[in-house]
Amino acid sequence: MLHPITPTHYLVLGAALLAIGTIGVLARRNIVIILMAIELILNAVNINLIAFSHHLRQVHGQVFAIFVITVAVAEAAVGLGILIALFRNRQTVEADEIDLLKW
């Protein structure tokens, strides 16, 4: 009844996690939660990289995952800095209320 786990299992899980993260980015209004959803998307990428690394018996995928984590850290730090500056100026964290450039 319990099948062995194939790379396809991991890829499907990664696709599902990517979809959930994308819904979070597109549909939520709170910018903090949008940033968290971006972290979910990057983790979906990492699942795929590690699945291929394990399947091909090479560690290159794991090295790439380290770089993805590095970029995620940099993105979170700068994003949260921008969020603090934004909150100081506009007193809001709702993504659709920040429409100065909209006509």
Partner 1 sequence: MWIDTLFFYLFALITLAGAVLTVTRRNAVHSAVSLILALIGVAGLFLLQKAEFLFAVQIVLYVGGIMVLFLFVIMLVNLDQAARLRQFNRQWWLALACVLAVAAEVIYVLRRGAAAFRYALPEERATAAGNVERVADVLFKEYLLPFELASVLLLAAIVGAVIMARKRT
Q: In the range 31-90, which residues lie near partner 1 by CB under 8 A?
A: 32-33, 35-37, 39-40, 43, 46-47, 50-51, 53-57, 59-60, 62-63, 65-67, 69-78, 80-85, 87-88
Is residue 3 near partner 1 by the rule CB under 8 A? yes
Residue placing its CB nearer to partner 1 in the complex, 96 or 101: 96
- Other CB atoms closer than 10 Å to residue 65's CB: what's the count? 20
The three-class DSSP label of residue 37 is helix
Residue placing its CB nearer to partner 1 in the complex, 89 or 100: 89
In whole angstroms, what is the distance from residue 33 CA to residue 71 CA?
18
Dig out the tokens for 71 from the structure.
């970029």
